Amino acid sequence: MPKLFFTPGYNTPDHQSLIPLNLYINGKEQENFGEGKEEFDLTQSWTANIPLNLMVKFDLDAASIYSKASLSKRDKVLLALHTYSTGTKKQHVGLFTEIHTGENLAQIDIPAGEISDNLIVSATLTVRLDDEQQRNFGAPVVNWSRLLTRSWTLKLSGSQSQANVVVVDFSKNPRWSKSMWHVQIRKMPDLENWLISQQSNMLRIEISKDYAESLLEPHFQTLLATDIAIQALDDAIKNDEIYEFLVNEGDGEGSWSIFVKTLFQAIFPEGDVNVRQKWDQNPEDIRTAVQNLMSVSLELS
């Protein structure tokens, strides 16, 4: 069936008038942005307790946009980012900035815990009309009309009740009262489900409220990541079906199985030679190796 195209009733610029150049997520530039890619997988790095800052840099030809939309020079075209989370059903709107020819930066800040599952990120060009200016033929006549929208999807996985990290008051639990964190890994009923699971569906990490401010500190993250890795490997190595997957060729489909197998191959590059024996007899050496690996993964070395 052919696509149906609808007109908003006024002239609009085409998509090439809003060219994306760079996408930054919490200050880190995403690769291949601006090359037609419309979906980005953050399931292995995103955590719900950390605020999200998005910045997108665009190349704009302001004169062309005004001309194609039949606007006058006294009208203003504004650029902004809008987001919608499919998991929490919440929308957020960034700052509106007036466009100019050349590079334009749009950004939005989203508080912690307010997004999950998929995040739809849209960049819009909106017009603020000069009330005293006579409208040109074909120009929008309603203030704040949208001229153009481009969208991307950030895959976060999980749901509002399955956040990766939560802050908890451990003082009420004698067993954990002096702990910095408590890592829980979900037990899957079978190998097939384990292979396709995402990290955010497998992990629940409870951070003591006394250490919540340390969560963004690099060395705190390294120690926490080491504990997660050790527990994940321990569960996998002691499960016959998962162990068989780890020592043989073949890849998992979900971010969790990829994460565990990558760890296994890095710690045991020789494959299945005495793995279980080494795991039981050399816990300190293995922990040191895992911690070094986590430090490199977090770019702390």
pLDDT above 80 (res 52) = yes
Among 137, 157, 177, the domain boundary falls at 157
Q: Does residue 180 lie in a domain region?
A: yes
Same domain, 107 and 184: no
pLDDT score at 162: 46
Assign residue 245 a region (left: φ > 0; alpha: ψ between -120 and 50; beta: otherwise): alpha
User: Mean per-residue pLDDT for 267-296?
Assistant: 88
Q: Does residue 9 lie in a domain region?
A: no
Q: Mean pLDDT highest for which of 47-51, 108-112, 133-137?
A: 108-112
pLDDT score at 271: 67
Same domain, 200 and 85: no
**272-281 long-range CB contacts below 8 Å, 24 or more apart?**
272/247, 275/237, 275/243, 275/247, 276/237, 276/243, 279/233, 279/234, 279/237
Q: How does DSSP classify residue 158?
A: S
C-alpha span between 207 and 185 (Å, rounded):
15
Same domain, 62 and 131: yes
CA angle 19, 20, 22 (to 5 degrees): 150
**Range of weakest confidence among 35-44, 69-78, 153-162, 190-199:** 153-162
**Residue, of 190 and 70, whose pLDDT is higher:** 70
- 234-256, pLDDT tens digit by residue? 999 999 999 999 988 777 788 78
The residues, any chain, with a CB within 8 Å of residue 218's CB and separated by 6 or more, are 298, 300
Average pLDDT of the chain to the nearest whole number: 85
Q: Does residue 8 lie in a domain region?
A: no
Q: Which one-letter amino acid corresponds to residue 99?
A: I
Same domain, 194 and 75: no
pTM of the model: 0.56
- Percent pLDDT > 70 in the chain is 90
Same domain, 272 and 237: yes
pLDDT score at 45: 63
pLDDT score at 59: 94
Tell which residue, 270, 264, 271, has the closest CA to residue 286: 264
Tell which residue, 114, 146, 112, has the closest CA to residue 128: 146
pLDDT score at 101: 94
Q: Which domain holds residue 169?
A: 165-297
C-alpha span between 256 and 158 (Å, rounded):
12
CATH classification of the domain holding 150 = 2.60.40
pLDDT above 50 (res 2) = no
pLDDT score at 3: 39
Please state the domain count of the chain: 2
pLDDT score at 148: 92
pLDDT above 70 (res 12) = yes
The residues, any chain, with a CB within 8 Å of residue 98's CB and separated by 6 or more, are 76, 77, 78, 79
pLDDT above 70 (res 97) = yes
